[in-house]
Structure formats: structure tokens, C-alpha cells
Chains A and B, each alone.
Chain A
Amino acid sequence: MNESEIRRQLRDWIVSRAKEKPDEMVDETPILERGILSSLDVVELILFIERIKGDEVDMEKIQPEAIRDVNSIYQAFFGS
């Protein structure tokens, strides 16, 4: 799966989980700060990331800033 497909899947998943659908969902949209996802959605997000990665995530290396928006998620979990 290439980068743009991963980013699209992340955006789609986030919108599908949102309690209140955002007017706009781009890679810079702050997902927790805007209340699109709550802290209780984070585990599901991590599991979704593991699903598209096909591998488990090492949580020790992950900081809360990693899930600010799609850009930071991509960098933290899929970046080289």
C-alpha cells in the first residue's frame, strides 16, 4: 500500500469513527483537539494502524503528539 492510500484510509477511518462528522478532513486536521476522536478511540486507532501495517505497534516508542493529525500519525507509524 502506498503513502497516499494509507493516508486516505486513515482519514476515512477517522471520519467513520467521529461522533460529530467534521466539515473538512485533511491531513492537517487536529483530530483530538477538535474532538473528532476522543482518547477512548485511541486504542481502536492503534489497532487499525496495526491492521493496515500488518504488524504490531511498539507502544513504548509512541508519544501522545503522534496522534495529533494524519500527518503525525503517518510519520510516527509509517515513516521510515
Chain B
Amino acid sequence: MQTTEDIALKLTRASEKFFYDVATKITWPQTLDASDWTMSPELISLFGTEVWETLSDAQRKKLAFHEVAGFFSLILHGERPLLEGISHRMYLTEKNLNVLEYMHHFLDEENKHMMMFSGYLRRYVGKVYPEKKIAIARPMAKGEDDAAFFAKVLVVEELSDFYNIVMGQDERLPQVIREVNWTHHVDEARHIHFGRRYLSDIWNRSAATWTATEKETFRTWLVDYVNASWRDFYNPSVYRDAGIEDPHAARDEALSSAVCRAHRQKASQKFLENLVDSGILDEIPVLA
């Protein structure tokens, strides 16, 4: 079996091979036609709801424009603490120089992603949707801080990757949307490979010293975190900007819709299976 160091060496070679300059990577058109699809309709958070059925084609496309901006904002906010947390741990808790070399690529690529998403939002939307989180410390078992951090990293990467893969290949979307999504996906495929292994290592090290209750507390928190992360995809500010009459009611409906629930479960499936394979979860949870 490959060690984490072997994986890091391999991923470093791939990052070097696919290295790019973010300033020239994306071809940014002067304007974006917001009256056409800018997000795959099947991925729009209200898809399959009664509200969706009441919208005209033009209203759906307007929602797509704001929804993709909300999605890029969400990733941007997810990557911000990721950069902070990785750089905080480098040379402190992680001392293997080969793993660290890959972490430098990881940081470099995450910074590029932030520039890319920010570049899109600055050019075509004029704002970043704010996040509504407040950081509140909670009591943790020994080593749980690292496990929770890398689990959070994986959640943002794995869920966004599901969307990036679909939109990166969706020919209904403008080239710039496909490029941004695909560029993110190509880097994230490496980050996810590394992140899965790194989290598994931390789990094996830390959880070995935890009591059954501490393991159960972590598992409960992780499933709650995945559910909370999904709820972030349903943004009333996006709905308001798209002209949805009652943004909060639309969100309520989408969160409880069977179609939307099935989508969340499907989009999370590979990620959840991996957590079970790693022993981090003991079974695939039914998401809210």
C-alpha cells in the first residue's frame, strides 16, 4: 500500500505538470449573457420544487445566474479557512518535507481558485454572497480539532466537485463557466485524493485514543456538518436577487422536497462511502 508520503510525491509531480498561471488560465469574455443558462438547471437548488414549476424559462435562467454566483461564493468562503488551517499546521503538526512540498502546491492551487471565483464574481456579478457563519468553539477530544478541520476541508471539496464535474462538461453553459468549473475540478481531484488519505491517517491516529462516546460524538457532528453544509446551498439572498417572491418559503420547500433530498443524498454518496471505507463513519447516513 502507498504511504501518505508516496501519494504526496505523486501529487506534487502532477501539480508541477499541470501548473498554470491563474491570470491567463481563464478566457474572460467582456460580458456574460445572463439571459441564457449559466448553471445546469438540474443543479439549481429549487429544481424539482413547486416554486420551480411556477417559474418561467426567463425566471429560471435569472435564478441560474444568481445561483451560480451563490455557489462560487460558497466555495470561496469554504477555501478561506482552508488556506488558514493548512498553513497553520504546516511545519508545526506536519513535518514530513515531501508531504509539506505537496501542501505548498495545495495552498498555491487553493489561492488560485479563490482568485478565479473572485474574478468571476467581480466581473459579472459585482459582489460575493456573504456567509452567515459565526465561529464558536466546542469541547473536543484530543486530536479532534485536526480531524474536524480536515473533514470540513473534504466536505467543501467533495460537494463542490460534484457540481464542478457536471457544469464543467455542460455544453448549455458559456465557455467561461465551464472553464472555471473544470479548472477547479482538475485541481480538486488531487486535493480530494490527498485529503481522504490525510483525514484517514488523522482518524487512525486520534480515534485510537478516543472513547466510544468520543467517537460517536465526532460521527454525529460530522453528519450534522454535512447536513449544515448542504443547507448553505439554499440561500434566500440568492432567491431574493432572482426575484423569488418569498425566498424563505422557497428555501423551506426545497429543504423538505423529496426531489431535493434525493439529490443531496446522491451528490454525497461517493464521499459518504469513502468515509465508511475509512472507518470514520460506521454506516452511510440518510441525510436530512
- Residues of A bordering B, CB below 8 Å: 32, 38-40, 42-44, 46-47, 50-51, 56-57, 59, 62-64, 66-67
Residue-by-residue, is B220-235 near A (CB-CB < 8 Å gives 1, otherwise 0)? Answer: 0100110110011000
- Residues of B bordering A, CB below 8 Å: 130-136, 138, 221, 224-225, 227-228, 231-232, 236-237, 248, 251
**A40 near B131 (CB under 8 angstroms)?**
no
**B136 near A43 (CB under 8 angstroms)?**
no
Question: CB-CB < 8 A to A43: which residues of B?
Answer: 131-133, 228, 231-232
Question: CB-CB < 8 A to B133: which residues of A?
Answer: 42-43, 59
Measured between C-beta atoms, what is the minimum distance from A78 to chain B in Å?
Answer: 17
Known contacts A43-B232, A47-B248, A59-B130: A64-B135 contact under CB 8 Å: yes
**A40 near B225 (CB under 8 angstroms)?**
yes
Question: CB-CB < 8 A to A56: which residues of B?
Answer: 237
Please indicate which of the listed interface residues A40, A63, A67 has the most CB atoms of chain B within 10 Å of its own CB.
A40
Measured between C-beta atoms, what is the minimum distance from A73 to chain B in Å?
Answer: 12
Measured between C-beta atoms, what is the minimum distance from A49 to chain B in Å?
Answer: 10
**A38 near B138 (CB under 8 angstroms)?**
yes
Measured between C-beta atoms, what is the minimum distance from B222 to chain A in Å?
Answer: 11
**A59 near B132 (CB under 8 angstroms)?**
yes
Question: CB-CB < 8 A to B237: which residues of A?
Answer: 56
Determine which of B130, B228, B236, B248 lies in contact with A40 in the assembled complex, contact meaning CB atoms within 8 Å. Answer: B228
**A67 near B134 (CB under 8 angstroms)?**
yes
Question: CB-CB < 8 A to B224: which residues of A?
Answer: 38, 40
How far apart are the CA atoms of A62 and B134 in the complex, in Å? 8
**B136 near A32 (CB under 8 angstroms)?**
yes
Measured between C-beta atoms, what is the minimum distance from A64 to chain B in Å?
Answer: 5
How far apart are the CA atoms of A63 and B129 in the complex, in Å? 19
Instruction: For B220, give the chain A residue with the smallest CB separation.
Output: A19
How far apart are the CA atoms of A72 and B221 in the complex, in Å? 26
**A64 near B228 (CB under 8 angstroms)?**
no
Question: CB-CB < 8 A to A50: which residues of B?
Answer: 236, 248
Instruction: For B228, give the chain A residue with the smallest CB separation.
Output: A40
Question: CB-CB < 8 A to A39: which residues of B?
Answer: 134-136, 138
Please indicate which of the listed interface residues A32, A39, A64 has the most CB atoms of chain B within 10 Å of its own CB.
A39
Beyond A40-B224, A42-B132, A43-B131, 16 additional contacts (C-beta under 8 Å) are: A38-B221, A38-B224, A39-B134, A39-B135, A47-B132, A47-B236, A50-B248, A51-B236, A51-B248, A56-B237, A57-B132, A59-B133, A59-B134, A64-B134, A64-B136, A66-B134
How far apart are the CA atoms of A38 and B133 in the complex, in Å? 12
Question: CB-CB < 8 A to A38: which residues of B?
Answer: 138, 221, 224
